[in-house]
Structure 1
Amino acid sequence: MASIDPALFIAALDKAHTSSEGGRLLTAIGISEADLQENPMETVGHRMYEDEARGIQLDFVDEGKRRKTPIHDIGEGPWVLFQFYFMSGAAGGGRYAGALPYGITFDMTRADLAKLLGAPTSSNPMVELWQKEDHRVSVNFDRKSGAIKAVGVQAPLE
């Protein structure tokens, strides 16, 4: 997979996989709807794509759970990209090789992140969150080393 501009991921956020934005993202990653698996941690109406070797996780929710949709069977899609994560490899698995959103890099410290993104809107030893435009950016840390484990972006909560 060639490096994908993080703006392509952000553009597909809160959009169905069948939308032009969603389709462009799936094509850039090289996957299709058939690659979206049931999320074992969630209830009916959730799908995910995880590629540990490439350090990517995409989480989808059935459009009927995200928006009021008349006469819709939950679990049949279309699938709305709810959040995505880029993994650093610090917790095992592959390291995402592409650019991260907002100029974040995996080698940054909490102080570096605060300088780049401003004070987080929420912080604890394992995660810091920032509100950006119409979505949230999360950075997950290893509790022992303080290294960045993952950088994620989440659609607005409804």
Structure 2
Amino acid sequence: MDDKSLSVGQLAARSGVAVTALHFYESKGLIFSTRNAGNQRRFPRETLRRVAVIKMAQRLGLPLSSIHAALQSLPSHRAPSAADWRRLSAQWRDDLTERIDNLMLLRDQLDGCIGCGCMSMQSCPLRNHHDQLAEQGPGAHLPAPLEEKQT
């Protein structure tokens, strides 16, 4: 790891990401470090590109679990390439499109909701989205989990 590695401070300065965020990413398995003889973290330079991918994915609103799965598909010994990014972005495109469609629908429903102001548990499409149990009347309709029944 010698001169090609970065300390956590150097990685933070070069990537524009706080040291605490880098420690968090490492704790979640998104990036990896080794320790030098003085027990200080050292990150391979390739980590800069991985951090850039993480930040872009977060900006897209992707959950850390999706980001982690995507990074697991990348080789750990080199920086993600443009081809890697194309593959990852293609995987995320459908999810983003679905979320955009849902947000547009929500936006369009919000206008009507502001006008009515009811926030009805029975009929409000924003407060009670896709409610199927309401047809069975008020109260709980799902059976208690098995462990609750036994106690």
Task: Provide TM-score, normalisation by structure 1.
Answer: 0.27
Between Structure 1 and Structure 2, whose CA radius of gyration is higher?
2
The one of the two structures with greater contact order (alpha-carbon pairs below 8 A, sep at least 6) is: 1
Task: Provide TM-score, normalisation by structure 2.
Answer: 0.28
Would you tell me which structure has more strand in proportion to its own residues?
A: 1
